[in-house]
Amino acid sequence: MSKNQSKETETPAVNPLESAQRLEAIKNLIFGENIQQIDQEFQAIKNHIEKRKEELEDFIAETRKDLNSTIDNLATDLNIRITDLENSMNDKTDELNHKKVDRNLLGTLLVSVGEKIMKD
């Protein structure tokens, strides 16, 4: 095989600009004047999706902020209640230390504390 024959069988280099122009020409033949309308509809859909995505991201950020605030408030409230319960229990045990231990009173106190814990 000669050098001239091998050059004839090689694929010619395709210019990317020329290829894009050919693709655009084919697209215009297939879709005609409707291509601009189709492009506008796709752009409108893309814009709508982007707007909804931003709205959802904002909603998620706001919800996360609200949840964190609620969790902080709940933790604070729970800590206050636990502190109050500890203080009440300490007061009652101090009161019992000064008196003879009344088993009925102690049992009632423990049942009361248990009921409060179950309610909270």
Tokens of residue 120, six digits: 């909270």
Region 97-112: mean pLDDT is: 76
16-38 confidence digits (pLDDT tens): 778 888 887 887 777 777 777 88
Q: Rounded to whole angstroms, how far apart are CA atoms 118 and 120?
A: 6
44-81 confidence digits (pLDDT tens): 999 999 999 999 999 999 999 999 999 999 999 999 99
Domains in the chain: boundaries = 17-119
Q: Rounded to whole angstroms, how far apart are CA atoms 93 and 99?
A: 10
Q: Rounded to whole angstroms, how far apart are CA atoms 92 and 86?
A: 10
